[in-house]
């Protein structure tokens, strides 16, 4: 029996969730155009759509909310926020934003010029979009092991150092304004990056004189993997590991909706004083005054407290343990998943789950829709519906390497019992997989955002 690490908290406020019956869900799906983004959340029993902004705040964070100082300039919570980020990262200047993507927008609209390259292990969608919107070219340089869904590697999020050197040699450091590392590598399955790899990337950046930034959304989960898997770190504390990780970078962007365990928030942190004025001016233009960004004083306080809680080792053992537990249960039931499981989600390989459904008939989306229909669970497709695109020259459709279904776990929200219900539901569906039918899009448009809006039907 897979092992479950018990919750290092007890529950003192509860939110009722209701099961619907199958007939009701059939009607809801029809209304929603078989797109789970259109389903009212009250009609979802277990919601694994995302781990972003869906976490449960602690009593300590809620208490902090009550201390919100809503003065326009330099409220007391700003100082707590600034201090929390500075002491955690060792970075000097802090720009608060309401989400991670605004930090990306401010960064890239300031430092990026048309035709420049930005390497990363794997760019997250919003990072890629912000680079493209500013005329830049995003490059994904994750190691080959990171692209193989079956291969075990302790740090599948690592950057390929040889490829990074080639990019810098080929294009020259002047055309690479920043190198990014995403910790953990979200688009690559929430896989961690080793301290050794971070250090090696730092060395390359030093040699070429290029700054290095983290996309730091899941820094704490990454630190936990380093402690578990990397030689020399087992006796270090999580805050020590976090501090060392950040000591190698010149800055970071962060969505606090992930490892700061808040429902809204983000920031950018950096050391270069020349960037402070342009960043602040852009911030005032699109978010707000530099001591609150797009946030209320109370939100700043919740982030300051959440950053500390996320580095608690018992919490991280339970958190990463939950993902592994769900993965182990599914694997035991024969369900094809991406291995090893990462820090925040389990990914089902839909091409193996439903090999009888072809790529153009959305095997991942079919699995997502059937999982809701049968069990009231909301997952999300990360495959053909999200990424397939028409090649503008040949007119042919290019498919992503994999068709995945992501089961993302909100932080501190669901119990082991919920996860067992999810595993049983997926396994039951797997046993009946031959009955799953393919799908087609009804209202066709070739937007990269079509997965949010498209209406579909079964074939």
Ligand X SMILES: *Cc1c(COP(=O)(O)O)cnc(C)c1O
Residue 323 or 429: the one with the smaller Cβ distance to ligand X is 323
DSSP strand pairing (137-140 vs 179-182):
unpaired
Instruction: Specify the residue, 215 or 301, whose C-beta has the smaller distance to ligand X.
Output: 215
Residue matched to tokens 């495959």: 383
Min CB(319)–ligand X separation in Å: 15
Ramachandran region, residue 100 (left: φ > 0; alpha: ψ -120 to 50; beta: rest): alpha
Residue (258 or 378) nearer to ligand X, CB: 258
Q: What are phi and psi of 195, to 5 degrees?
A: -65, -40
- Judged by DSSP in three states, 417 sits in helix
The nearer residue to ligand X, 123 or 298, going by C-beta atoms, is 123
Position of minimal CB gap to ligand X: 100
Smallest distance from ligand X to CB 155, Å: 16
For the CB of residue 185, give the shortest distance to ligand X in the complex, in Å: 8
Q: Please give the structure tokens belonging to residue 58.
A: 């602690």
Residue 393 Cβ, how far from ligand X at the closest point, in Å?
Answer: 30
Q: Smaller CB distance to ligand X: residue 43 or 258? A: 258
| Measured CA angle at 26 (ends 22, 30), to 5 deg | 165
Cα–Cα dist 422/180, whole Å: 35
**Closest distance of CB 254 from ligand X, Å:** 8
Are 428 and 342 spatial neighbours (Cβ–Cβ below 8 Å)?
no
> Whose Cβ is closer to ligand X: residue 39's or residue 254's?
254
Angle at 449 between CA 447 and CA 452, to 5 degrees: 130
- In angstroms, what is the minimal distance from the CB of 402 to ligand X? 18
Based on C-alpha coordinates, what's the Rg of the chain?
22
Cβ 140 to ligand X shortest distance, Å:
13
First to last CA, the chain: 39
Cα separation, 42 vs 44, in Å, equals: 5
Nearer to ligand X, 255 or 425 (CB): 255
**b/e per residue 45-56 (b: at least 16 CB within 10 A):** bbbbbbbbbbbb
DSSP state of 407: E
Answer yes or no: are the C-beta atoms of 201 and 242 closer than 8 Å: no
Closest CB 85 distance from ligand X, rounded Å: 15
Specify the residue, 184 or 354, whose C-beta has the smaller distance to ligand X.
184
Task: Give 207: exposed, middle or buried? Use CB within 10 Å, 0-12, 13-18, 19+.
Answer: exposed
Q: Between residues 97 and 291, which has the closer beta carbon with respect to ligand X? A: 97
DSSP state of 37: G
Query: Which two tokens mark 244?
Result: 């060392």
Cis status, amide bond into 184, omega within 30 of 0: yes
Rounded-to-integer distance, Cα 288 and Cα 295, Å: 8
Closest CA to 227 of 144, 140, 314: 314
Q: How far is the CB of 430 from ligand X (least distance, A)?
A: 28
Shortest distance in whole angstroms from residue 278 CB to ligand X = 21
Rounded to an integer, what distance in angstroms lies between the CA atom of residue 166 and that of residue 146? 19
- Residue 426 Cβ, how far from ligand X at the closest point, in Å? 23
Q: Which is nearer to ligand X, 109 or 175 (CB)?
A: 109
Task: Catalog residues that contact ligand X under the rule CB under 6 A.
Answer: 52, 99-101, 124, 126-127, 182, 186, 215, 217, 255, 257-258, 266
Q: Which helix (H) or strand (E) is 251 found in, with range?
A: strand 251-255
| Residue whose CB is less far from ligand X, 127 or 291 | 127
Cα–Cα dist 186/99, whole Å: 16
Cβ 341 to ligand X shortest distance, Å = 17
Question: Please, which residue, 80 or 257, has the CB nearer to ligand X?
Answer: 257
With 0-12 / 13-18 / 19 or more C-beta atoms within 10 angstroms meaning exposed / middle / buried, residue 342 is buried
């Amino acid at each position: 029996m897979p092992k479950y690490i018990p919750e290092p908290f007890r529950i003192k406020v509860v939110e009722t969730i209701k099961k619907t019956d199958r007939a009701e869900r059939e009607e809801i799906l029809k209304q929603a155009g078989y797109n789970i983004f259109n389903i009212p959340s009250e009609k979802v029993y277990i919601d694994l759509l995302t781990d972003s902004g869906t976490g449960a705040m602690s009593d300590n964070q809620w208490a902090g909310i009550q201390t919100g100082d809503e003065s326009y300039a330099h409220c007391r919570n700003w100082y707590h926020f600034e201090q929390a980020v500075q002491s955690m990262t060792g970075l000097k200047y802090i720009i608060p934003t309401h989400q991670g993507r605004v930090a990306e927008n401010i960064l890239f609209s300031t430092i990026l010029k048309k035709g420049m390259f930005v390497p990363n292990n794997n760019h997250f969608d919003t990072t890629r979009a912000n680079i493209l919107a500013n005329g830049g070219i995003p490059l994904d340089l994750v190691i080959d092991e990171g692209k193989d869904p079956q291969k075990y590697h302790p740090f599948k999020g690592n950057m390929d150092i040889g490829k990074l050197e080639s990019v810098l040699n080929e294009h020259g450091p002047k055309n690479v304004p920043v190198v990014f590392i995403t910790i953990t590598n979200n688009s690559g399955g929430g896989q961690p990056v080793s301290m050794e790899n971070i250090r090696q990337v730092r060395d390359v950046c030093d040699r070429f004189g290029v700054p290095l930034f983290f996309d730091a959304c899941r820094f704490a989960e990454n630190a936990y993997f380093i402690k578990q898997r990397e030689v020399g770190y087992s006796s270090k504390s999580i805050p020590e590991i976090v501090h060392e990780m950040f000591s190698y970078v010149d800055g970071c962007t962060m969505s606090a909706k992930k490892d700061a365990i808040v429902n809204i928030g983000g920031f950018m942190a950096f050391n270069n004083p020349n960037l402070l004025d342009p960043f602040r001016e852009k911030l005032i233009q699109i978010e707000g005054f530099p001591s609150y960004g797009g946030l209320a004083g109370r939100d700043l306080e919740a982030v300051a407290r959440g950053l500390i809680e996320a580095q608690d080792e018992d919490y991280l053992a339970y958190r990463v343990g939950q993902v592994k537990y769900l993965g182990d249960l599914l694997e035991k039931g024969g369900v094809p998943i991406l291995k090893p499981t990462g820090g925040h989600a389990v990914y089902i390989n839909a091409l193996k789950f439903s090999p009888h459904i072809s790529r153009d008939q959305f095997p991942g989306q079919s699995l997502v829709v059937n999982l809701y229909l049968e069990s009231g669970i909301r997952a999300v497709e990360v495959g053909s519906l999200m990424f397939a695109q028409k090649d503008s020259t040949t007119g042919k459709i290019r498919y992503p390497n994999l068709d995945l279904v992501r089961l993302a776990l909100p932080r501190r929200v669901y119990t082991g019992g919920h996860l067992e219900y999810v595993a049983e539901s997926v396994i039951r569906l797997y046993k009946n997989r031959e009955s799953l039918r393919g799908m087609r899009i009804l209202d066709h448009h070739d937007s990269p955002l079509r997965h949010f809006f498209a209406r579909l039907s079964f074939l």
